[in-house]
Amino acid sequence: MTTPILIEKETSASEPSTKRGLPKFIPEQLIAFEEDIAEEFNAANIKAPVHLYSGNENKIIKLFKRVRPQDWVLCSWRSHYQCLLKGVPPKEVKAEIMAGHSITLNFPKYRILSSAIVTGVLPIAVGLGMGIQNDGGNERVWCFLGDMTSETGAAHECIKYVRNHKLPVHFVIEDNGKSVCTDTRQTWNTEKLTYEEINDPYITYYKYESKYPHAGAGQRVQF
């Protein structure tokens, strides 16, 4: 099982992670990482849930061109790609996943946090943004959430608060059309979701189709 090759600038090992440039990936490297994890999961080598990405590689790589080392990245239970793109070495990401932490990957050194709780990181993003603004800092918070999460009351409140207080927080809504196993638009009986096609400086919204289910890698695994 192969781990994608990391292409990064030469830096001193003792240099703080927030001072280094972020690594550069191509889509095939991200895909190879997730396929490796899928194989490990299907072989029952990971004794916990995994949430895999597929189909959004180009979009998330393009978005991370705007993310700086000093910025914070907050994610939900699906965060493998963000960890890699934020500079966490692939071996460290895989080690945490193999230890059962796929849905709660946290690497404070690299300023990336995630939560398995729906909307769990949204108020944290708001709090980080308030702290940065109060301190006069230049960091930015990038908060990732899914299409179903974006329709919750907590999401609406956090987005409204960030807008009204002009906090340095940017929400990235990743729409795979699913709320676990249910179509999100069917759930809400609507053809278009609240933030879909919106022109908002605080929101990036993109759609993608994944080959993986909400959780797991597509086959039943008996531990």
Cα 140 from Cα 53, distance rounded (Å): 24
pLDDT for res 148:
93
Task: Kindly list the structural domains of the chain, giving each domain's residue range(s) and its CATH number in brackets, ordered by start.
Answer: 27-207 (3.40.50.970)
pLDDT for res 1:
47
pLDDT for res 10:
34
Confirm if 145 and 76 have CB atoms less than 8 A apart: yes
pLDDT for res 29:
97
Question: Amino acid letter at 218?
Answer: G
Question: Amino acid letter at 115?
Answer: S
pLDDT for res 217:
73
The 3 state secondary structure assigned to 69-97 is: CCCEEEECCCCHHHHHHCCCCHHHHHHHH
Question: Amino acid letter at 172?
Answer: V
pLDDT for res 20:
66
pLDDT for res 32:
97
Query: What pLDDT tens digit does each residue of the chain (223 aa) get?
Result: 444 434 333 333 334 455 568 999 999 999 999 999 999 999 999 999 999 999 999 999 999 999 999 999 999 999 999 999 999 999 999 999 999 999 999 999 999 999 999 999 999 999 999 999 999 999 999 999 999 999 999 999 999 999 999 999 999 999 998 887 788 999 999 999 999 989 999 999 999 998 887 877 767 665 5
Any idea of the CA torsion for 139, 89, 85, 195, to the nearest 10 degrees?
Answer: -80
Confirm if 111 and 88 have CB atoms less than 8 A apart: no
The pTM of the full predicted model, rounded to 2 decimals, is 0.88
pLDDT for res 17:
53
Query: For strand 182-183 and strand 203-207, is the pairing parallel, antiparallel, or unpaired?
Result: unpaired
Spell out a b/e string for 2-26, using b for 16 or more CB atoms within 10 Å of the CB, else e.
eebeeeeeeeeeeeebeebebbebe
pLDDT for res 2:
44
Confirm if 40 and 91 have CB atoms less than 8 A apart: no
pLDDT for res 72:
98
Which structure tokens are listed for 58? 């180009």
